A = this chain, B = another copy of it.
Amino acid sequence: MNPTLEQVAQLAGVSRSTVSRVINNHPNVRPEVRERVWQAIRECGYRPHAVARSLVTRRTGILGVVIPESLTTLFTDPFFPLLLRGATEVCNLRKHQLMLLLFNDPAGEEEMYQRVLRNGYIDGVIVASATVNDPLVNLMARDGIPFVFVGRPLDPSIPSVDVDNVGGARTAVEHLLRLGHRRIATIAGPANMTSAQDRLEGYRLALEAYRIPLDESLVVHGDYTEDGGMLAMQRLLPAGPTAVFAASDIMAIGALKFLRQAGLRVPEDIALVGFDDIPAASAVEPRLTTVRQPIPQLGGLAVETLIGLLQGPRARPSMQRIVLPTELVVRESCGALSAFGR
């Protein structure tokens, strides 16, 4: 059994209160007493019992990361691993912990909510939900559970962190425009995901900036899968695009495979740009030009924001939304390198 405060106190010849003060760095303890207490602590290998402490402080230092059902299947996509890595890094720094809350069905979501989020173990929550209208958000808002949204929430007053999907897509498409392309198609993502909406908006803005009217036959929705990308490319081909902007690398790879089957060369016949910069993007031939997102930073920022929220609800501005910039990674699939590079 681990030693308790009481035993440390006895060993140091002081009261429980004094030991507690030493542990918690309260100023009003005589230096020599403080030293004696530390000695006793070291001597018996005392570690504060976090559970007992939490019972009175009402803080556990545990942050939940909620990844809803629809996304669990996408878990092989490196988004979540990178997000978690960034989040844990900041957590380690700030002496907090991350608890993983994934579920595979909506019933699990409800059960999880009641059992875990309302049981006092979790100080606050990071919600990484890509879908437009997640029910969890309303529940948490109702119950006053502090949370930060990763992505773009419906209600803009909800604290959130996001990458600049609009800007990233716009940059990608403008890159193609600058290369001379005028018939640029897009394989958009699922219409109910905000990231997909925003990337489509970026596509629109780029065309608008070049005064090119939007041609509906050049816009097809995929589902962020490789097969979806192949299918979308097939439907797009009759419209005769000279370039394609895919809202995700996975779909771009699907498109690439379809084009290869169709006997078309990338980038010579059709230029291709993706989004995400997943590892596979640089494994395919030709390597994919794509938009890289600072995902670990996003995770870290989410934690930072949440901890800020927990510490000072007073200092919290009514609206808090942070958007991180993206970066265009130019490789072979867009044709820019063969045009200028050699």
Q: Could you list which residues of chain A lie within 8 angstroms of chain B, going by C-beta atoms? A: 2, 47-52, 54-55, 60, 62, 65, 72, 75-76, 78, 80-82, 84-85, 88-89, 92, 95, 97-104, 108, 112, 114-116, 118-121, 226, 253, 260, 279-280, 283-285
Residues of B within 8 A of A284 (CB): 283-285
In the bound complex, CA of A50 to CA of B114 (Å): 12
CB-CB < 8 A to A80: which residues of B? 81
Q: How near does chain B come to A84, taking the closest CB pair, in angstroms?
A: 7
Is A100 within 8 A of B99, CB to CB?
Answer: yes
Closest to A118 in B: B47
Could you tell me the distance between the alpha carbons of A237 and B86 in the complex, rounded to whole angstroms?
A: 39
Shortest A102–chain B CB gap in Å is: 4
Instruction: Report A207 CB to chain B, min CB distance, Å.
Output: 29
Selected from B85, B99, B260, the residue in CB contact (under 8 A) with A97 is B99
**What residues of chain B lie closer than 8 Å to A48, measured between beta carbons?**
119
- Pick from B76, B100, B112, B120: contact of A279, CB below 8 A: B76
Task: Give the CA-CA distance A284 to B286 in the complex, in Å.
Answer: 10
| B119:A50 contact, CB within 8 angstroms | yes
The contact sample of 29 A-B pairs, CB cut-off 8 A, is: A47-B114, A49-B119, A50-B120, A50-B121, A51-B54, A51-B60, A52-B120, A55-B55, A60-B121, A72-B85, A75-B81, A75-B82, A75-B85, A76-B78, A76-B82, A76-B279, A80-B81, A81-B81, A84-B100, A88-B100, A88-B102, A88-B103, A92-B108, A95-B115, A97-B99, A97-B121, A100-B100, A226-B283, A260-B285
With the chains together, A162 CA to B78 CA distance in Å? 23
Chain B residues whose CB sits within 8 angstroms of the CB of A82 once the complex forms: 75-76
Starting from the known contacts A47-B118, A75-B81, 17 additional A-B residue pairs (CB-CB under 8 Å) come to: A47-B119, A49-B119, A50-B121, A51-B54, A51-B55, A51-B120, A51-B121, A55-B55, A72-B85, A76-B82, A85-B102, A97-B100, A99-B100, A100-B100, A226-B283, A280-B280, A284-B284
A48–B114 Cα distance when bound, in Å, is 10
